[in-house]
Amino acid sequence: MQEYFLCRETEMKDGDVRIVTVGRADIGVYRYEGGFYAYRNQCVHQGGPACEGITRFKVVDVYGEDRTFQGQVYDETDPHIVCPWHSYEYHLKSGVCATDPDLRLRKYEVFTREGEVYVLM
């Protein structure tokens, strides 16, 4: 495996995403709660640019005690990457598909050294 420079830590604030090309691969790099996450920018569904979609929190249905639907709220502990082509959702921290845990984005190891962010590929 080889390490590739992505950016300086100060170039990304919490919640940012950037697409970088490393060799022939486009990589989506996310900064969330001070950590960095990197995924191949390719949806497992039909190859769409998954990392170019929005990032939003998981939507949770709320039901009353009588089991009637009350509405929806966001689970702010579970951010999702949403592919712009067909809205496939992936957990930002793991790359696992929200609706099918057998599917996942290709994840890369990210690390920081002396204020710089690198990916191992």
CATH number for the domain including 42? Answer: 2.102.10.10
* φ/ψ (deg, to 5) at 29: -110, 125
- Using alpha carbons, select from 119, 104, 113 the residue that is nearest to residue 30: 119
**Residue 27 has what pLDDT?**
96
Question: Structural domain tally of the chain?
Answer: 1
Give the Cα-Cα-Cα angle 43, 44, 45 (nearest 5 degrees). Answer: 90
Residue-range definition of the domain harbouring residue 29? 3-120
Q: Give the pLDDT confidence score for residue 1 in this predicted structure.
A: 85
In the prediction, which pLDDT does 63 show? 97
What does pTM read for this prediction?
A: 0.88
Q: Which tens digit of pLDDT belongs to each residue from 17-48?
A: 999 999 889 999 999 999 999 999 999 999 99
In the chain, which residues have pLDDT < 70? none
